[in-house]
A and B are shown apart, each in its own frame.
Chain A
Amino acid sequence: MTTATKTKMTLVQAVNDSLKCAMRADDSVLVLGEDVGPKGGVFLATDGLTAEFGEERCFDTPLSEDGIIGVGIGMAMNGMKPVCEIQFQDFIFPAFDQIVSEAAKMRYRSGGQYTVPMVIRTPYGGGIRGGLYHSQSGEAYFCHTPGLKVVVPSNPYDAKGLLAAAIADPDPVLFLEPKALYRSSKMEVPDEEYIIPLSKVATVIDGDELVVFCYGAMVPVCTKAAERVKESRGASIRVVDLRTLMPLDEEAVLDAIRECGRVVTVHEAPRFCGFGAEISALAAEHAIEYLEAPVKRVTGFDTPFPNTLEHYYMPDTRRVVDAIEEALDF
C-alpha cells in the first residue's frame, strides 16, 4: 500500500487543485468565467488551468453573468460538466434568473429528460473591506430554490473534497467559497483526488452542553468562541460545520440539538429569513421538548453590507461568546 502524499496549501489553492484533478480525470469538465483564463481568476483559483488544459477547457467569457450561467446550462444539457465562476457572489444576481428559473428547474420541468450537472463557484462573505458589492452572503436566496444544492467549505481539506463531490454531482451545485479564508491558513491536503460527500455535517469540536451551527468563514470564529467559553467556565460546546446547506443533513442537525439542548446559529448573512431561521424552525418543530433555552441567532445586521463599519456587522468571537453565554445562563 502506498502512502498518500500531501501538500500544505491554502483554501484557494485547494480549490485550484480540485479543479485540476477533476479536469485531468474527465475531459468533459471545463471552466468558464470572467478573467479565469491566462490571469487565473482575480483570486487565482483557476491559476494555470488554461496553460495545462487549453483555451477550450478554461476560457474567459464576455462580462455577462447571465451569459456565463446560461451558456453553462446549455453545455451541461449537452454532455459537459461546466464549472462556472462568478467573480464575486455579489455579481451573481444578473444570473439569478438563469440559476433559479432554468438550472434549478431543468430536471423537474423536463421530467428528468434534461439535466444540468453544473457547478457555480463563487467567493462570498465579508472581511476583505469590500463594501456593499464584494461582501454579501446570499445563501438563503439559493437554499430557498428547489433543485439547487448549496455547499460552503470552511477549510482547504473540505474545499478540495467537497468541490470534487460537487463536480461529480448530477445536479447544479452552488459552491460558495469563503473568500476571507482563501489565504488565512494552510493545511495538509492529499494530492490525489478524494470526495467528501455532500449533505454531511462535520463536527469540528465535540461537546454536549450547547451546539453552535455554522459554516464557511464563521467556522473558525465559532471554534475560537467555543474554546474561549470552555476556558472561561469549562462548558462543553459542540461546533458543527454544516458544509452543505441544501439538502441539509437534517438528521445530524436534529441529533445534535437533542444531544445538546441549547442551540446557537451563526452566519454573516442578515438574520431575517436567514439560514439560522431554518435551524431554529427545525428545532421548534421536531425537538422542542429537548430545548433548555431559546435558540440564539448571531448574524449580520438586517442592513445592506457596510464598508467602514464592517467589523461591527460581521459576527465575531465576542458576539458568539456572548450568545453562547446567554444560552447557557438562561
Chain B
Amino acid sequence: MSYRVAFPDGLDVFRLLSDDGNQTLSPPQKELGIEGFSTLNPPLPPPEECLAIWRAMTTTRIMDDRMMKLQRQGRVAFVGTSTGQEAAIHGSGAVPGQDDWVFSALREGGVAIQRGMPIDEYISHMFGNANDTAKGRQMPNHFQCKDVNFPSWGSVLGTQLPHAVGAALAMKQRGEDNICLAYTGDGATSSCGFHSAVNFAAVTKAPVVFCIIDNGWAISVPSANQTKSRSYATKAKAYGLPGLDVDGNDPLACWSAVKMAADRARRGEGPSLIALRTYRMGGHSSSDDPSRYRQDAEVAHWAGRDPVSRFEQYIYAGDIAAKAELQCYRETREEEILQGVARAEKVGAPSLETLVTDVFADPPRHLRKQVVEALKLVAEKGEAEAIAGKFPL
C-alpha cells in the first residue's frame, strides 16, 4: 500500500540515515542527482552541528505546540505549524552562514530562530504587538529578522523566489561568496514566481539554492494533483540545473544535499534545486480540518516516521549526547518559550500613528492628514470597535 500521495513508490531518494535512526547508511552506489549533481561523496554534519540541528528541530516542535495551544485558547489568531517537517527545515536551515540570506515560506520561521532571531521577537510577531519588528502589519507566521538576513514572505506563494535570485545576483555583482537559500512548498512549484525565478537563476548563474519542502499537500491538494513530473527535483532537468530528491525526514541527508548545493553556488557554479520529501502532520493551518481530504492511515504511516525521534536515536547511537542532556534542553526551552509568551502578552498593540509610517520613507501630505483625522476621531469618539471576524483558511 502506498502512503506516498505524491509519487510512485520506488523513487530513489537521497538518504543517509536508516529509518530507525540507529545507523548511517553507506552513500548510494549510483548517482541519484539530476544534471550532474553528484551524491557519491556526500558530506556528513559533524556531531556539534547535529546537536545544533536537533536543538533547532526541538525548539520548533515546542514552539509549534505552544502556539497551537494559544490559538485554541483564542490568544493567537493564526498558526501554521511545521510538525513532521523539522528535519527538512532545520537540516537545510543549518547550512547557510550568517552572511547568507534565507527567503522563507509559511513553515520555515524556525530557521530564523536557528540563525539567531531572539525568541521574544518571534513570539511578539505571533501576537502582532508593539515589539513585533513588522509593527503588527503581517498576519502571524510571516517572520522576519534583518539581523540574520531573513526577510518575511508575502502570502502570495512563490513570490519570494525571484527576490532570492535578485539578492543573490547583488552578492555575485559585489564579488561576495555568499548565497541565498530560497524555500518554497510543493504547491508553489506551480506558481509563476517559481518558474520565473528558477529559469532566471539558471540563465544568470545566480548563487541560489532552491529548496522545495514537499510535504505532500498544498492545503487540500495532494502533490499528485500539483504536478505530473515524476518528482519535484525532476523539474531541475528542464531548467538545465542540478537537482536532487531527498528524504526530508532525514536531517543528515537534508543537511548534506543542501550543503553540496550551497558549496556549488559559492564556487560560482550556479543554482540547484533540492526537493526535501516530508509530510505535514497537522492541518494547513490552525483553521484547517485535514480529515476532510486525507486518510487517517496516511497520517498514521507518517507518524511512525517522526523525524525528531529518528534523529534522537542517531544522537544516542552515535554517543553525540545523552538522553538526560536532551531532556534538560527540552525543559529549558519550554520554560523560555512560556516566559516569552507571558512577556509578549503584556505588550500592547502598535500605536495608531504607525498606521501610516513605512508606506514611504516619509509620509506624504495625504497620509499625514489621514492619521491626524483618525487620531482626532479617537480623541472625540473613542477607540474603534474590535473586529469579530476569524481567519478562515
Contacts and interface: CB of A to CB of B under 8 A. Distances in A.
A239 B161 CA distance: 45
A62 interface: yes
Interface stretch (B105-113, B131-139, B290-298, B316-324): B131-139
Given A77-B151, A111-B132, A113-B146, A67 B101 contact: no
A247 interface: yes
A158 to B, nearest CB: 20
B152 A110 contact: yes
A304 interface: no
Contacts of A110: 133-134, 144, 146, 151-152, 358
A109 B163 contact: no
Interface stretch (A2-10, A38-46, A97-105, A204-212): A97-105
Interface residues of B, number: 46
Given A74-B170, A78-B101, A113 B162 contact: no
B282 interface: no
Interface in A226-262: 247-248, 250-251
A69 B163 CA distance: 9
Given A74-B169, A98-B159, A250-B365, A111 B360 contact: no
B26 interface: no
Contacts of A214: none
30 contacts: A57-B173, A61-B200, A62-B196, A64-B199, A66-B192, A67-B196, A72-B166, A73-B162, A73-B166, A74-B168, A74-B169, A75-B166, A101-B154, A102-B156, A102-B163, A107-B359, A107-B360, A107-B361, A108-B359, A110-B146, A111-B132, A111-B133, A111-B137, A111-B358, A112-B357, A112-B358, A113-B134, A115-B361, A147-B359, A250-B365
Contacts of A77: 151, 163, 166-167
Nearest to B159: A102
A171 interface: yes
A249 B174 CA distance: 38
Contacts of B196: 62, 64, 66-67, 70
Nearest to A67: B196
A69 to B, nearest CB: 8
Of the candidates A59, A71, A105, A199, the one having the most CB atoms from chain B within 10 angstroms of its own CB is A71
B358 A70 contact: no
B390 interface: no
A291 to B, nearest CB: 21
Contacts of B101: 78
A111 B134 contact: yes
A109 B138 contact: yes
Nearest to B134: A111
A74 B365 contact: no
Interface in A145-195: 146-147, 149, 170-171
A110 to B, nearest CB: 6
Contacts of B133: 110-111, 113
Contact of B137 (A71, A78, A108): A108
Contacts of A111: 132-135, 137, 358
Given A98-B162, A114-B152, 8 more contacts: A70-B196, A72-B166, A77-B166, A107-B361, A111-B135, A112-B358, A113-B133, A171-B361
Contacts of A64: 195-196, 199-200
B134 A74 contact: no
A30 interface: yes
A79 B172 CA distance: 12
Of the candidates A62, A80, A97, A111, the one having the most CB atoms from chain B within 10 angstroms of its own CB is A111
Nearest to A105: B154
A114 B142 CA distance: 14
Contacts of A247: 360, 364-366
Nearest to B201: A71
Nearest to A249: B365
B217 to A, nearest CB: 24
Contact of A66 (B193, B360, B361, B364): B193
B156 A56 contact: no
Nearest to A69: B162
Interface in B116-163: 132-135, 137-138, 142, 144, 146, 151-152, 154, 156, 159, 161-163
